[in-house]
Chain A
Amino acid sequence: MSVDDIVLADDMFERVGVDQISSEHLEKPALTYWADVWRRFKENRLALFGLILLALIVATLFVGPALSGKDYQHIDSSIKNQRPSAEHWFGTDDMGRDIFTRVCYGGRASILIGLLCTAVMMVIGFALGALAGLRGGWVDNLIMRMAEFVGNLPYLIIVVILTMVMGRSLFALVFAMSLTSWVGTTRMVRGQILQLKEQDYVEAAKALGSDMWRIIMRHLLPNTLGIIMIQITMSVPGFIFGEAFLSYIGLGIRPPETSWGALASYGQEKLMFQPHMLFFPSLMIVLTTLSFHLIGDGLSDALDPKLRR
């Protein structure tokens, strides 16, 4: 294409100079950090599936009993040990109780325990990890040695002893299970804080006169949220499983309250003849764990700056 070939109008060669508006613009569409994370998360089909699955499970747990119309404690020997049917969606147990409703109630307890333990673990873990990372020196040393010590204690024995001593109330269970769980979180938070501390913007905040509290709340915590969220999604199913295990050895939640673990434990004895008693609570544990892990993986990828396209 030579300059000759084009027939050009007279006014084409009028000077217009610099175009102020388009010369200083912003490149990409406005996306907050979390909006971008969500966008990346959404593109990951498995992660999205996990999220939907979890939502469905939680919805079922709360709405289920209303839908089924049954009472989870109602005993009726005449309908005991029934296979799943239109009347009893998950069948009945050996005392004639509707398993579906029991699974819903049990699920609430299981997830509640999972969330409570995770919350305690997070708070302790973040506090200790931040303290170790920020103060360094002997404080850091002390906390890390404590972490090593506690981390090496036989988790199960501690939990067993504690529940035997403190009883089997919800409080005792949560206490026992979270007591030794903070170690991993502490290490991770500490690592993240050590890295963030070196960032220029943290130093800039100090140079502006910000005090330690402000730096933690406005600079360090928000940038640690990412890994904390991933930790949460990976921990909740761990605690649910932990409680299930305790129930298996007779130390879990106390009747008449029930959990998936308690239901599974109970159902395990009847495995030969009424497999549905074991099957459904186990299925719920598996599905919930799966959904949390899928979400956790998806979050982890969505948050990874190197995978950003």
Chain B
Amino acid sequence: MLSSDVLVEVNGLKKYFRAGRGRVVKAVDDVSFNIHRGETLGLVGESGCGKTTCGKAILGLHSLTDGEVTFDGLDVHELGQDERKEFTKRAQIVYQDPYSSLNPRMTVKDIIGEGIDVHRLCRGKEQEERICELLDTVGLNREHINRFPHEFSGGQRQRIGIARALAVEPEFVVCDEPMSALDVSIQAQITNLLLKLQREQDLTYLFISHNLAMVRYVSDRVGVMYLGKLVELTTSAELYRSSLHPYTQALLSAIPVADPDVERVKERILMKGEIPSAMNPPPGCRFASRCSQVRPICTEEEPVLREVEKGHFVACHKVT
């Protein structure tokens, strides 16, 4: 792939949070990957793995403890005020919680119009028309333009959030668990919408979720995170066909499949023990304490993310 194809480059990203009394939470600990123009990169993991922190750090919503994020050649965390404003037009975010991501005191018009106002894209009648078009695009009724968030359902609010992000005509959108708070049938609606928008507007997505089936469906490539580390990265098909990291395998076997006969005979890889805290990660591989295939080296040395097959990266001593 030509390097000009790469839209986002993440290099050695570290984000640590101070938790009082000298303790440090290593939310993201040395993560590197690229996102190519036009692709959907999925980021999967359970709670506390750092995927959301990663996504927000890419957009500059979190400062970095170490490492670098480049967007189309620009260092996201070294932008001047004007450059930063330009950047916000090009990279946007859709949030998980449709209830806290919209200001309850603002009308739909104001919410969607905020980005347009901030960047002075258009005003007055023209702006209103643009907002109405956005409502059409996301499948909402134009007449609801003066209503308040609490009058809408979760799925409808999520669409408002999407319209807000699209209002500034971005190239790159971070979707932070956009479906987790929604019902199954609404999830399908929103997913179809996001995919349609990607095709029509040539968007690049970073799709963050803990729902593996959804991530597999939506993404071209998938990265699996565990306790702040990227443990596997490959194409979506490859991940589900032949995953290599023990954590990925355990994760896949843990998802209940909507097929009773399959479930009955399924052999689940059960992990022992509790998830260690991100405050004091054990030395060596973070997954060692729960891994069914652990060996002595795992508790001594941290495995490095290596390309073991074309396009398939794993961080595991057993594999490499």
Complex contact flag A–B (Cβ < 8 Å): yes
> Which size class do B's interface residues fall under?
35 or more
Q: A203-B61, A204-B164 are contacts. A209–B88 as well, Cβ < 8 Å?
A: yes
- Secondary structure class of chain B's binding surface, majority of residues: loop
The interface stretch among B10-18, B142-150, B293-301 is B142-150
Chain A residues with CB under 8 A of B242: none
Instruction: Name the residue on A nearest B174 (C-beta).
Output: A207
Inter-chain CA distance A223–B168, complex, in Å, is 25
Instruction: Name the residue on A nearest B110 (C-beta).
Output: A218
Q: Which of A1-53 contact B (CB under 8 A)?
A: 24, 26-28, 30-33
Is the CB of B103 closer than 8 A to any CB of chain A? yes
Is the CB of B153 closer than 8 A to any CB of chain A? yes
Chain B residues with CB under 8 A of A199: 100
Partner of B104, one of A27, A30, A33, A218: A33
Inter-chain CA distance A167–B13, complex, in Å, is 64
Q: How many residues of A contact B (CB 8 A)?
A: 25
Is the CB of A83 closer than 8 A to any CB of chain B? no
B82 to chain A, nearest CB (A): 10
Counted as pairs of residues, one from A and one from B, with CB atoms less than 8 Å apart, the total is 71
* Chain A positions 174 through 215: 1 when the CB is less than 8 Å from some CB of chain B, otherwise 0: 000000000000000000000000011101111111110010
> B152 and A204: CB pair below 8 A?
no
Chain B residues with CB under 8 A of A206: 61
Chain A residues with CB under 8 A of B196: none
> A208 and B97: CB pair below 8 A?
no
B23 to chain A, nearest CB (A): 19
> B97 and A200: CB pair below 8 A?
yes
Chain B residues with CB under 8 A of A209: 84-85, 88-89, 115, 118-119, 168
Which residues of A are interface residues toward B (Cβ below 8 A)?
A: 24, 26-28, 30-33, 199-201, 203-211, 214, 218-219, 222-223
A-B contact list, 22 entries, CB within 8 Å? A26-B147, A26-B151, A27-B151, A28-B151, A33-B105, A33-B148, A200-B96, A200-B97, A201-B102, A201-B103, A204-B93, A204-B101, A205-B103, A207-B61, A208-B92, A209-B84, A209-B115, A209-B168, A210-B114, A211-B118, A214-B118, A218-B106
